[in-house]
Amino acid sequence: MAGDYHIPRELSKLFITSQGRQVAGLTAREIEFLGYCHQDISYKEIAEKMICSERTVHSYRDKLLLKLNRKSRNGLTAYAYDIGIITG
């Protein structure tokens, strides 16, 4: 419709590489951020782990919320589990 693609969740799993770290349409830094979403740590602590500013972390969050049509950090965490970025 607007030049974007909708990929069903089941199909999105096929875009994960054998390392489980690359997903179509997401940058490496967005994937890294998703990997921290499930941890009980603050955005400031995520920024320290990613070696960037807290404002940059908020930017990753905001962009992912829009890209993935999610409403919260919990929604991002659920997405990360669904596509295998977070396991266990």
- pTM for this prediction: 0.73
Task: State the sign of the Cα–Cα–Cα–Cα dihedral 41, 45, 49, 50.
Answer: positive
Q: What are phi and psi of 22, to 5 degrees?
A: -125, 130
Q: What is the pLDDT of residues 2-42, one digit of tens each?
A: 555 555 555 444 444 434 555 778 999 999 999 999 999 99
Please report the DSSP string for 19-86 in residue order. Answer: TS---TT--HHHHHHHHHHTSS--HHHHHHHHTS-HHHHHHHHHHHHHHTT--SHHHHHHHHHHHTSS
Q: In this model, does residue 88 exceed pLDDT 60? A: yes
Which CATH code of 1.20.1440.230, 1.10.645.10, 3.40.50.300, 1.10.10.10 fits the domain covering 22-83? 1.10.10.10
**Residue ranges per domain, the chain?**
22-83
